[in-house]
Structure 1
Amino acid sequence: MQATVDFAARIAGICQELGIAAGVIAQRGLQLQVEPAGLVEVCVAADGHVFQLTPSAREAWHAMQAAAARDGVAMALVSAYRSVERQREIVATKLARGETIANILTSVAPPGYSEHHTGRAIDIGTSEEDALEEVFETTPAFAWLQVHAGEHGFVMSYPRDNAQGFVYEPWHWCFRQPGYTGSERH
């Protein structure tokens, strides 16, 4: 219990430092996303970056990727676990470039509120051209995910006009559990 209180206090301090008002977080219904223990390596990118997920999310990702490949559809990880500190750096960099916090928060969750902190969220791409772009929705990978992702426990977190106020992210999927079809947030 104390660890949760300490985590919440740490996140509140980081958000305050970045100029992210608690009211904005509450208004958008964002929930704290606690970083898990026991992350495991999923794969290593060409640049040496190690992608990590929880063991169950890694198993589900590998099964889903293999099933897609059997259907002739290629998918690759673009992003997986991301620490609170890395999320803070992303927001701070955008602020330093002159972006407003309101604009930043349409495409980047506040530190402590990103599903990537859980080790269950992944960003999926098929090539550099569609990585983290709306055009991903035109790919065979996206069409396959719409039909089969739920069988592997993944749901698209941010459809068009989502309640959390993020831009449409057809590439962002979060592991819930196999057969999951609901839309409640974790």
Structure 2
Amino acid sequence: MIRSATQTLIEAAFALGVPRDYGRVRGLRRVREPERLAGIGRDTQGREQYLALRAARAWTRMREAAMRDGIELEIVSAFRGIEYQLGILKRKLERGQSMTEILRVSAAPGYSEHHTGRALDITTPGYAALEEEFERSAAFAWLQKNAQLYKFTLSYPRDNRHGIAYEPWHWCWHARK
């Protein structure tokens, strides 16, 4: 049997200690990477970032609307492939983090919304990236009030059913919202 590259990467994650029942226990489905991506600008580190085409258009509209309201939304991270997510997992293990700790803050390879090309991590000037303090920003307040107009939702609110830490910076575009 020939195994797909995706399945090989997911098997590598299981070999590193991701529980085989991870998706079922966390209520997460395996996700596919998009066939096409569109550039959405540079992140806070100067790297070009990408989203799936429709999500990219929605992000551009939302970011422009925020700017009109005096809110600057900055990209921390957008599309991340399964292979990249596996690298994150490996680096955290090498730094001595336990798999339990890692899976509390990062979805396992194959299950991250970032793989879909519809999710992005957002910050704003004056706030540390990927920190809860973002919830105290005017940008977060603006997103709570307006993101749904552009079909973006906060994926991991406090005490979410997936057991992933609260991430006020992580927003995902959903075509059906």
Fold agreement, TM-score > 0.5 = yes
What's the RMSD between the two structures over aligned residues? 1.8
Structure 2 unaligned blocks of 5 or more: none
In 1, are the aligned partners of 2:73 and 2:122 still within 8 Å (CA)?
yes
Residue of structure 1 in register with 2:116 after alignment: 118
Which range moved further: 124-133 or 159-168? 124-133
- Are residues 1:136 and 2:134 paired? yes
Among 4, 8, 11, the alignment partner of 1:10 is 8
Aligned-partner SS, 2:65: helix
Relative to the length of structure 2, the TM-score reads 0.92
Which range moved further: 52-61 or 39-48? 39-48
1:82 to 1:128, Cα distance in 2 relative to 1, 3 A: farther
Residue of structure 2 in register with 1:64 after alignment: 62
1:103-149 deviation line (CA, Å, top 9, x unaligned): 10000110111000000001010036331100000000000000100
1:56-111 deviation line (CA, Å, top 9, x unaligned): 11110010011111111111111100011110010100101111000100001101
In 1, are the aligned partners of 2:122 and 2:169 still within 8 Å (CA)?
yes
Structure 1 unaligned blocks of 5 or more: 181-186
Relative to the length of structure 1, the TM-score reads 0.88
Following superposition, the deviation at residue 8 of structure 1 comes to 6.1
Amino acid in the other structure paired with 1:131:
A
Taking the aligned partners of 2:103 and 2:65, their CA distance within structure 1 comes to: 34
Residue of structure 1 in register with 2:154 after alignment: 156
Runs of 4+ in 1 over 2 A off after TM superposition: 5-12, 44-48, 127-130
Following superposition, the deviation at residue 19 of structure 1 comes to 1.0
Amino acid in the other structure paired with 2:117:
G
1:16-37 deviation line (CA, Å, top 9, x unaligned): 2221111233211111011111
Following superposition, the deviation at residue 177 of structure 1 comes to 2.8
In 2, are the aligned partners of 1:8 and 1:32 still within 8 Å (CA)?
no
Taking the aligned partners of 1:51 and 1:136, their CA distance within structure 2 comes to: 20
Among 66, 71, 85, the alignment partner of 1:73 is 71
Aligned-partner SS, 1:52: strand
